[in-house]
């Protein structure tokens, strides 16, 4: 007999609701849940592939311990916890707590209790070295709000927009922005009059819906935004009353963009000046608008400046929610946030917290710089990192694979969580076998959390969902949930952990919560009796607008009207202002205007092409890198414009050697008409271990052999050049 249970796909942050058909305790089919609001039953191929992923024959059944000869042998949970505890204690005793580091990547989407527990564990041992993927992703979107200030009323509701402008993102594939069935949402919005402006070297699935598509040379986003600001000022389209009340620095900003004339910008960014003017015209005449950016421009260096200028342009047009507007992304599983039509002042983007020993990198508003981590492991001396808890696909997702390998090998203790023996897991001293999605309860809080840092995540409407774990792992498995190692090691070391409540972790409730609320601010975890994941979720949702117990009553998810908020009036005594002229940002902009473009871009006769990042529907980052067969397309083609291919005497399916100044990979090319000439576009997250033979058409290739941590890195957050990388492309002689 088959029965159907409700759950949620966690293979990307879209969190699509699914119907899971189960037969004899096994997943037999996964489909979209048509009863769920907002999604229209949508799922992508990775959602359907959950069936195969749950029945993955390569799945780790037990934890593994590296043996002296390099092979792996099973180890029980109890023994694992005992050995890891002993080693961590010894490292702390010998080298101090900073020697212990942790990295949290996308597996946090599956394991929601992981982030809070890891954070508590790291503070209990006294180590600041907690890194995450934010600093190799879009850190600028977290730092720019600090430099510009934020709008306490939030963004304008998508249904009310005249224009949405997107720099280097592709929601139809990535589901970053318009995450619930993005194709459908964009179609509806553009059909009902919203004009879409897309800036991307590729005519993406999203760009096809655009009123204006600026098919730019990669890495020129700050130039283009400066050009748009120039035009908006020149056209007299600055919302003067909004700016007068809410911002400062217009004159300096105007001076800084004066020389970014349409002719200059068009020439430099390889776009048509008329199209740039057309985009400016749409923005100038729109009454309501919103802007977003994705990974492309962030990775093409200067991501902070790009995001900063984007916020400035948004402020110049007054494109922030007005008093009386329906607030977007109201809290559901977090404590109440009051929306007000007023600015929150800027706050430090860097210059606080922890300084790294390498390259003057430091903690920023985007967290600790992952760009410093490999060197911090390799550099001897006080403060050297000796142990690392790793949740992610570092060997293929971190830049400069060779240095990552060297660093991981240099550790005294590398603990990698995984569901299979991936390229990254195979580097570890201990591999912790973890539960897979449907063995873990799921709730929507994590995306609400992400929306606090990135406007492209979460739900515009007050959506909430929770579903319980559907299965226990098979009886012969000995696996853990990702948070458990932190609790159990703390327990063995006699450490007291704090409660994983977000009220404390983010300090979000304290100022916004109604005065009468008596939310207790400090809690001690019970270190005798291990909580269940569900109990942890209760703790994490403490003080939420909608109690988790209420959300649990709706297995298909629900829009909670009681959570809806309206943007309130400005406080009479509000004097905060949004900053249009952050000196560091304007200085960087001046550098751009002064620099020799070719020198900066670094293309020349030897490296004539630009390599750019992109996502494909069939894979999320490093997920399932050893057994991608479940996803039908186990490789990452090297997409190029057919004219470029012809010029190089290549045809689709040919093997090529792709080289940057840092390394080479073998790829195979596929013609893509939609790509700008002179660029090659390829997805990360693929590839085998260095030294292993690979067939690009079977295994894919690791594009992070082309990157380097020290290539044009952001001077504060350390993010290196990961898109717009100069490369050569040559036929590969077998």
Ligand X SMILES: Nc1nc2c(c(=O)[nH]1)N[C@H]1C(S)=C(S)[C@@H](COP(=O)(O)OP(=O)(O)OC[C@H]3O[C@@H](n4cnc5c(=O)[nH]c(N)nc54)[C@H](O)[C@@H]3O)O[C@H]1N2
Write out the residues near ligand SF4 by the rule CB under 6 A. Answer: 9, 11-12, 14-16, 43-44, 46-47, 175
- Closest contact distance (angstroms) between CB of 30 and ligand SF4 is 8
Instruction: Using the minimum distance from each CB to ligand X, give the nearer residue, 276 or 551.
Output: 276
Report the 10 Å Cβ neighbour count for 379: 16
Judged by CB under 6 A, the chain residues 57 through 86 that form the site for ligand X are none
Judged by CB under 6 A, the chain residues 434 through 493 that form the site for ligand X are 434, 482
Judged by CB under 6 A, the chain residues 364 through 403 that form the site for ligand X are 391-394, 397
Q: Does 662 bind ligand X (CB under 6 A)?
A: no
Of the candidates 285, 284, 289, 286, the residue with the CA atom closest to the CA atom of residue 320: 289
- Closest contact distance (angstroms) between CB of 177 and ligand SF4 is 13
| Residue from the set 36, 118, 199, 490 that interacts with ligand X by CB under 6 A | 199
Kindly give the pairing relationship between strand 289-293 and strand 609-613: unpaired
Phi, psi angle pair for 435, to nearest 5°: -70, 160
Judged by CB under 5 A, the chain residues 116 through 175 that form the site for Mo ion are 137
Pick what 447 binds: ligand X, ligand SF4, Mo ion, none; C-beta below 5 to 8 Å, kind-dependent: none
Instruction: Using the minimum distance from each CB to ligand X, give the nearer residue, 150 or 397.
Output: 397
| Residue from the set 684, 688, 705, 721 that interacts with ligand X by CB under 6 A | 684
| Residue from the set 200, 290, 401, 542 that interacts with ligand X by CB under 6 A | 200
Kindly give the pairing relationship between strand 195-199 and strand 212-214: parallel
Report the 10 Å Cβ neighbour count for 708: 21
Cβ-based neighbours of 647, under 8 Å, separated by 6 or more: none
Of the candidates 284, 167, 164, the residue with the CA atom closest to the CA atom of residue 214: 167
Stretch that binds ligand X, among 143-151, 199-207, 585-593, 656-664 (CB under 6 A): 199-207
Instruction: Using the minimum distance from each CB to ligand SF4, give the nearer residue, 289 or 456.
Output: 456
Q: Give kind and range of the element (H or E) at residue 656.
A: strand 655-659
Stretch that binds ligand X, among 89-97, 275-283, 501-509, 679-687 (CB under 6 A): 679-687
Pick what 170 binds: ligand X, ligand SF4, Mo ion, none; C-beta below 5 to 8 Å, kind-dependent: ligand X
Instruction: Using the minimum distance from each CB to Mo ion, give the nearer residue, 137 or 714.
Output: 137
Pick what 9 binds: ligand SF4, ligand X, Mo ion, none; C-beta below 5 to 8 Å, kind-dependent: ligand SF4
Phi, psi angle pair for 73, to nearest 5°: -125, 145
- Closest contact distance (angstroms) between CB of 580 and ligand X is 22
Of the candidates 356, 426, 418, 414, the residue with the CA atom closest to the CA atom of residue 387: 414
**Would you list the DSSP string of 441-463?**
-EETHHHHHHHTT-TTSS-SS-E
Q: Does 433 bind ligand X (CB under 6 A)?
A: no
Exposed, middle or buried, 278 (CB in 10 Å: 0-12/13-18/19+)? middle
Stretch that binds ligand X, among 460-468, 585-593, 620-628, 643-651 (CB under 6 A): 620-628
Stretch that binds ligand X, among 195-203, 324-332, 334-342, 471-479 (CB under 6 A): 195-203
Angle of helix 583-594 versus helix 221-234 axis, rounded to 10: 100
Q: What ranges in 300-456 are assigned the alpha helix state H? A: 303-316, 373-378, 394-397, 401-410, 445-451
Report the 10 Å Cβ neighbour count for 657: 15
Instruction: Using the minimum distance from each CB to ligand SF4, give the nearer residue, 601 or 614.
Output: 614
DSSP character at residue 395 = H
Angle of helix 221-234 versus helix 262-269 axis, rounded to 10: 160
Site of interaction with ligand X (CB under 6 A): 12, 105-107, 110-111, 133, 136-137, 167-171, 173-176, 199-202, 204, 216, 218-219, 221, 294-297, 299-300, 391-394, 397, 417-419, 422, 424, 434, 482, 612-615, 617, 619-623, 625, 681, 684-685, 703-704, 707, 722-724
Please give the residue ranges that form the binding site for Mo ion (CB under 5 A): 137
């Amino acid at each position: 007999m088959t029965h159907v249970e409700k759950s949620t796909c966690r293979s990307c942050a879209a969190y699509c609701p699914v119907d899971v058909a189960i037969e004899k305790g096994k997943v037999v089919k996964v489909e979209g849940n048509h009863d769920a609001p907002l999604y229209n039953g949508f799922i992508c191929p990775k959602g359907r592939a959950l069936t195969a992923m749950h029945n993955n024959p390569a799945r780790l059944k037990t934890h593994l311990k590296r043996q002296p000869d390099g092979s792996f042998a099973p180890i029980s949970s109890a023994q694992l916890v005992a050995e890891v505890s002993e080693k961590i204690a010894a490292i702390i005793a010998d080298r101090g707590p900073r020697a212990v580091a942790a990295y949290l990547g996308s597996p946090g989407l599956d394991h929601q209790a992981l982030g809070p527990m890891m954070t508590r564990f790291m503070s209990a041992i006294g180590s600041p070295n907690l890194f995450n993927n934010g600093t190799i992703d879009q850190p600028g979107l977290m730092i720019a709000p600090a430099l510009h200030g934020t709008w306490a009323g939030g963004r304008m509701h998508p249904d009310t927009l005249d224009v949405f402008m997107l720099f280097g993102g592709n929601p139809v594939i990535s589901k970053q922005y318009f995450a619930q069935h993005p194709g459908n949402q964009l179609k509806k919005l553009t059909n009902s009059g919203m004009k879409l402006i897309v800036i991307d070297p590729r005519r993406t699935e999203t760009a096809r819906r655009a009123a204006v598509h600026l098919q730019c040379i990669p890495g020129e986003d700050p130039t283009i935004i400066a050009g748009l600001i120039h035009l908006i000022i020149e056209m007299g389209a600055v919302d003067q009353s909004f700016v007068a009340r809410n911002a400062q620095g217009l004159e300096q900003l105007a001076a800084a963009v004066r020389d970014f004339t349409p002719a200059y910008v068009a020439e430099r960014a390889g776009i048509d000046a008329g199209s740039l003017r057309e985009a400016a015209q749409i923005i100038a005449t729109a009454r309501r608008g919103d802007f977003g950016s994705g990974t492309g421009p962030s990775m093409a260096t200067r991501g902070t400046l790009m995001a900063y200028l984007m916020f400035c342009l948004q402020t110049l047009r007054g494109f922030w929610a007005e008093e009386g507007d329906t607030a977007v992304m109201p809290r559901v599983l977090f404590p109440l946030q009051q929306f007000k039509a007023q600015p929150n002042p800027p706050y430090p983007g860097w210059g606080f917290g922890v300084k790294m020993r390498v390259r003057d990198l430091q903690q920023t508003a985007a967290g600790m710089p992952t760009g410093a981590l490999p060197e911090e492991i390799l550099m001897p001396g006080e403060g050297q990192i000796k142990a690392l808890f790793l949740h992610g696909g570092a060997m293929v997702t971190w830049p400069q694979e060779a240095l990552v390998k060297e660093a991981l090998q240099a550790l005294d203790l590398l603990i990698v969580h995984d569901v299979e023996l991936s390229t990254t897991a195979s580097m570890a001293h201990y591999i912790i076998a973890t539960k897979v999605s449907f063995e873990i309860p799921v709730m929507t809080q994590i995306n609400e959390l992400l929306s606090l840092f990135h406007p492209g995540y979460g739900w515009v409407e007050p959506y909430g969902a929770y579903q319980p774990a559907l299965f226990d792992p098979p009886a012969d498995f000995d696996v853990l949930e990702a948070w458990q190692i932190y609790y159990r090691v703390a327990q063995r070391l006699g450490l007291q952990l704090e409660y994983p409540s977000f009220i404390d972790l983010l300090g979000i409730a304290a100022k916004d919560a109604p005065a009468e609320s008596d939310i207790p601010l400090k809690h001690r975890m019970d270190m005798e009796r291990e909580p269940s994941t569900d109990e942890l979720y209760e703790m994490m949702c403490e003080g939420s607008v909608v109690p988790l117990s209420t959300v649990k009553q709706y297995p298909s998810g629900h829009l909670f009207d009681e959570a809806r908020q309206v943007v309130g009036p400005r406080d009479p005594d509000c004097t905060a202002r949004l900053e249009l002229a952050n000196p560091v940002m304007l200085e960087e902009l001046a550098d751009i205007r002064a620099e020799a473009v070719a020198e900066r871009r670094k293309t020349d006769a030897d490296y004539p092409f630009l390599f750019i990042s992109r996502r494909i529907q069939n894979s999320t980052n490093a997920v399932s890198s050893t057994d991608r067969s479940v996803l039908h397309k186990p490789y990452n083609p090297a997409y190029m414009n057919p004219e470029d291919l012809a010029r190089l005497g290549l045809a689709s399916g040919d093997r090529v050697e792709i080289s940057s100044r840092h390394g080479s990979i073998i790829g195979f090319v596929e013609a893509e008409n939609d790509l700008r000439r002179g660029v090659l576009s390829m997805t990360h997250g693929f590839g085998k271990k260095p030294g292993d033979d690979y067939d690009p058409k079977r295994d894919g290739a690791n594009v992070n052999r082309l990157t380097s941590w020290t290539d044009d890195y952001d001077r504060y957050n350390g993010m290196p050049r990961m898109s717009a990388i100069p490369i050569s492309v040559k036929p590969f002689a077998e």
